[in-house]
Amino acid sequence: MDEKNNYQKRAEALLSQMSIEEKLHQLSAQMIFDIDDKYEERRDHLCGSYRNPGHFMHRDGKISTPGEVAKRINRDVEISMEKQPHSIPPLEHGETLHGAQWGMASIMPQPIGLASTFDPELVKEAADVIGKETAAVGVRQALAPVVNIARDVRWGRTIETFGEDPKLASDMGVAMTRGLEENGVIATPKHFVDNYADGGRDSNYSTHSELELREVYLKPFEACFKEGHAHGVMASYNSLFNGLPAHANHWLLTKILRDEWGFDGIVVSDYGGVNGCEGAHKIAADFPEALALCLKAGLDVTLSDIKYDVVKEAWDRGLLTEEDINVPVLRILKRKFELGLFDEPFVDPDEADRIVRCDAHKATALKAARESIVLLENDGILPLNKKKIKKLGVFGPGADVLPTGRNYSGPFGHLWEAPDVLTPLAYLKAHAEGIEIVTGADSDIPALASDCDVVLYFTTVVEGEGLDRSDLKLPSYRTATSKDEAAQIVDKATLTVEVDQESSIIALAAANKNSVVFLMNGAPVDMTAWKDKVRAIVEAWYPGEGGSEAICDVLWGNYNPGGKLPVCWPKNAGQLPLFYACKPSGRGYGYENNDGKPLYTFGYGLSYTTFELGAPSLKKTEDGWDVSLEVANKGDFDGDEVVQIYIKSKKTKVVRPLKELVAYKRVSVKKNGKTPVTIHIPENATAYYDSEMVYGKHGGEFTLLVGTSAENTPFAIEL
């Protein structure tokens, strides 16, 4: 008997021995915020899933070690198995958006920054670190990656995504999924599907048709399951085109996910998502009825704090049959057997202490931070020459905070920290030998900036889950507060900006012509008021624990930035939604006072050197085409260029996007050197959905566009 069938047989055998009460308990979950002396008394050790306690252990100023977290989770598992009639271990879950969020684990760039690397191999390396550090403490289900497509950057959760493009998001999602799953952690791509509406409004009803969902928004999920082998998925809060919430949507959770794609994992709810079928969407009279609707539609696990009494009431009222219960419980048990929870339920605390934030993991975080940085503007001021700088001004609300971003960074009630990680300002002070660092409040800029050789400004943005923006300008004098449990989980219960950043940048540029802005943010900002007043703009995103060193490497020329934008950068909010792969307009793309083009297109990013692409050649292969060319570096810096290949079509059966990314490759080229590169174009590049929702090769004429951004494609090749 092969292992897969063995897991199935073991799960079936166990299910046949379980009482209804045991089965119902497997459908319940628990999350306890306060880990205190009475924690074990409040824990319902019969629940099937727990929000792992490690996330809540760091309190009263004390940071728990990885080993301590591992011991706490081991204890959770031990007591649960002792109290379960059949010794069923619980499934401990947690967040891993850009690091294992049970404590102070290694922290990578926020996902929007990871996408900017255009380097799936590096993202797989980062995900492998996250997977190892997640499993090391006993967390075996990760509520990540976020593979929603962000095509309206007003959405506060743009920071969590891999950008606007289905191909890029699919590749990054697959890389993250593999890094988790290969380390014995269930990857849970989310939020299935869409998750925001017109205007960037989080969790609002989806206005996208089935065709658009299939063409764009479902693609990264399908890739995560078929190529990344994810064994979990989280439903989204919103309703879809067919009038049903995602949590209770049989078309989505059963017809598409299981019948079409062959998904064999578990579907979990978003926190409180089942409640939404009653409260927000009002398709159920009460919570037990909502739960029954969701389970019948294809949901398996209700998170985060679904008490047994609610599940039992749905059963007692006849809203669920035993078969309705057996189906999800069997899936849950199979996953637990497959993870080895029955056979090896405990982890080694000493190993957790050894592996978490080891030197190799820190090196990966630094590499990812460097590759994520995008150079937006530079008139030649960067990189700075240390020998010519005597006095450097450093200002802005982002200068003296760790560059991790608050979104899903660190444990509950405690921002991420580590004694060996410095803020950008502190790193400059520690490593800019012989240079005087001048800093102060923004109100002091006119007095302090004028006699500096160069001045830097580090921004910040109020954004994240529940913090959608209608205005893309840098925030000023703003406090965001939220009391819902999600805000607590993502560590942004209170987020404050106390300076008018736009005015400060303008004042900085007026006081000193040698002004450079470092953007610390998770989505584009409106730079209209100040872009032309400064000499350079660097998009650092939130680059994680290696961020300060990476920023300084870029500043001094120790590293040549090569990141590219994973979203179109609008001139202002009035252009939104804005994305490069739009479909043809019957009239035009602009406005009465705006040409409709982005400030910076998808795939854009500058370098300290100049690259030149050689004429590409095309070769047909058994499974597609190979495009080969040389990338020449004409400058004096080693650097990376991202060769990007788009496809455009005509004479197709349905209207197709103006162009779509089909392949890309980040290429390193030595100064004054050349690097050959061959990029594979898959056979399905010319396939699409027709008007009957049938996917395949329906005909047309296709052209490959080769270049370095969505708008810079100097070469065209007919297929």
In 3D, which of 418, 424, 427 has the Cα closest to residue 361? 418
Residue 684: helix, strand or coil by DSSP? Answer: helix
Q: How far is CA 670 from CA 14, 385, 481, 561, in A?
A: 60, 21, 48, 14
Do both 510 and 652 map to the same domain? no
For the stretch 210-260, pLDDT in tens is 999 999 999 999 999 999 999 999 999 999 999 999 999 999 999 999 999
Residue 711: helix, strand or coil by DSSP? Answer: coil
Q: Dihedral, CA atoms, 700, 703, 704, 710, nearest 10 degrees?
A: -100
Do both 405 and 522 map to the same domain? yes
Q: Which two tokens stand for residue 173?
A: 């999602």
8-state DSSP, 108: -
The answer to whether residue 449 sits within a structural domain is yes
d(CA 247, CA 263): 16
Do both 558 and 630 map to the same domain? no
Residue 40: helix, strand or coil by DSSP? Answer: helix
Last residue of a domain, one of 524, 559, 575: 575
The answer to whether residue 648 sits within a structural domain is yes
Is residue 511 within 8 Å of 523, Cβ to Cβ?
no
Q: How many domains does the chain have?
A: 2
The answer to whether residue 537 sits within a structural domain is yes
Mean pLDDT of 72-99: 96
Is residue 95 within 8 Å of 143, Cβ to Cβ?
yes
Mean pLDDT of 180-202: 95
Residue 673: helix, strand or coil by DSSP? Answer: coil
Is residue 337 within 8 Å of 15, Cβ to Cβ?
no
Mean pLDDT of 623-636: 97
Do both 552 and 649 map to the same domain? no
Q: What count of Cα atoms within 13 Å lies in the side-chain half-sphere of residue 151?
A: 19
The answer to whether residue 559 sits within a structural domain is yes
Do both 498 and 567 map to the same domain? yes
Confidence of residue 493 (pLDDT cuts 50, 70, 90): low
Mean pLDDT of 106-116: 98
Burial state string for 671-706 with b = 16 or more CB within 10 A and e = fewer than 16: eeeebebebbbeeebbebbeeeeeeeebeeebebbb
> What's the pLDDT score for residue 84?
94
Residue 29: helix, strand or coil by DSSP? Answer: strand
Q: Does 3 score more than 70 pLDDT?
A: no
> Percentage of the chain surpassing pLDDT 70?
97
> What's the pLDDT score for residue 412?
87
The answer to whether residue 203 sits within a structural domain is no
Residue 610: helix, strand or coil by DSSP? Answer: coil
CATH of the domain at 559: 3.40.50.1700
The answer to whether residue 349 sits within a structural domain is no
Q: What count of Cα atoms within 13 Å lies in the side-chain half-sphere of residue 426?
A: 10
Q: Does 486 score more than 60 pLDDT?
A: no
Do both 713 and 642 map to the same domain? yes
What single-letter amino acid sits at 701? E
Last residue of a domain, one of 554, 575, 596: 575
Mean pLDDT of 2-14: 87
Q: What angle do CA 629, 633, 634 make, to 5 degrees?
A: 125
Mean pLDDT of 490-499: 70
> What's the pLDDT score for residue 476?
85
The answer to whether residue 587 sits within a structural domain is no
Confidence of residue 198 (pLDDT cuts 50, 70, 90): confident
Q: Does 40 score more than 70 pLDDT?
A: yes
Last residue of a domain, one of 560, 575, 590: 575
Element (H, E) at 554: helix 547-556
The answer to whether residue 160 sits within a structural domain is no
| 354-363, 495-504, 526-535: range with lowest mean pLDDT | 495-504
> What's the pLDDT score for residue 490?
66
Do both 387 and 502 map to the same domain? yes
Q: Does 487 score more than 70 pLDDT?
A: no
> Percentage of the chain surpassing pLDDT 90?
89
Confidence of residue 477 (pLDDT cuts 50, 70, 90): confident
pLDDT: which is higher, 446 or 33: 446
Confidence of residue 485 (pLDDT cuts 50, 70, 90): low
Q: Does 483 score more than 80 pLDDT?
A: no
CATH of the domain at 628: 2.60.40.10
> What's the pLDDT score for residue 489?
67
What single-letter amino acid sits at 613? L
Q: Which domain holds residue 533?
A: 364-575
Averaged pLDDT of the chain: 95
Q: Which residues contact 597 (CB under 8 A, 6 or more apart)?
A: 589, 590
Mean pLDDT of 640-664: 98
Exposed, middle or buried: residue 282 (CB in 10 Å: 0-12, 13-18, 19+)? exposed
> What's the pLDDT score for residue 280?
93
Burial state string for 212-244 with b = 16 or more CB within 10 A and e = fewer than 16: bbbbbbbbbbbbbbeebebbbbbbbbbbbbeeb
Cα-trace Rg, the chain: 26
Do both 642 and 540 map to the same domain? no
Mean pLDDT of 183-194: 98
Do both 565 and 644 map to the same domain? no
Is residue 361 within 8 Å of 133, Cβ to Cβ?
yes
Do both 533 and 428 map to the same domain? yes
Do both 524 and 378 map to the same domain? yes
> What's the pLDDT score for residue 494?
64
Name the region of 499 (left: φ>0; alpha: ψ -120 to 50; beta: rest). Answer: beta
Do both 488 and 631 map to the same domain? no
d(CA 519, CA 522): 9
Element (H, E) at 632: strand 624-633
> Before 585, cis peptide (omega within 30)?
no
Q: Does 68 score more than 80 pLDDT?
A: yes
d(CA 717, CA 705): 7
Whole-model pTM: value is: 0.97
Mean pLDDT of 551-580: 97
